[in-house]
Amino acid sequence: MNQSRPTDSNLSLDAESALSDPAAMIAQPYQLYVERTDPTKNMARYYAMSIEPTLFGEACLTRRWGRIGAGGQKLVHHFRREEEAVTLFLELLRKKRSRGYRPRLHSRQGPLA
C-alpha cells in the first residue's frame, strides 16, 4: 500500500477518481409519476420515468406508461453520461405536461391511519 497518498491506487473506487469520472454516479435522483384522467372519455393513463445508474457506470432512463391499474409498457434507454439522460427526461416531461399529464394530487385510498 502506498502510504504517501490517501488512496492506494487509481481505480475508480477511490475518492479522487470517482469524483473526476462523469459516469461514476447519478448526481441526484430523477423520478416522475404523472396521470391524465378524463371520465367523459373513459381515460385514465399514467406515465412514470426514472434515471438510475447501471452496474457499468451508465445512466439508465426507464419509462413506464399505460392505463391506471394495468401493467402497461416499459422502455429503457441507456446513456454514457447522466446529462444525456436528463436532457431526454426533461424533454419527455415537457411533452407530457403539454398533453395534460399532471402529478397525482391525492391518494386514492385515503390517508393512512
Residue 25 is predicted with a pLDDT of 63
Q: What is the pLDDT of residues 5-62, one digit of tens each?
A: 555 455 444 444 444 455 456 677 789 999 999 999 999 999 999 999 999 889 999 9
User: What domains can you pick out in the chain, each with its CATH number?
Assistant: 32-103 (2.20.140.10)
3-state secondary structure the chain: CCCCCCCCCCCCCCHHHHHHCCCCCCCCCEEEEEEEEEHHHCEEEEEEEEEEECCCCCEEEEEEEEECCCCCEEEEEEECCHHHHHHHHHHHHHHHHHCCCEECCCCCCCCCC
- pTM for the full model? 0.69
C-alpha to C-alpha distance for 31 and 34, rounded to whole angstroms: 10
When pLDDT is cut at 50, 70 and 90, the band that residue 108 belongs to is: low
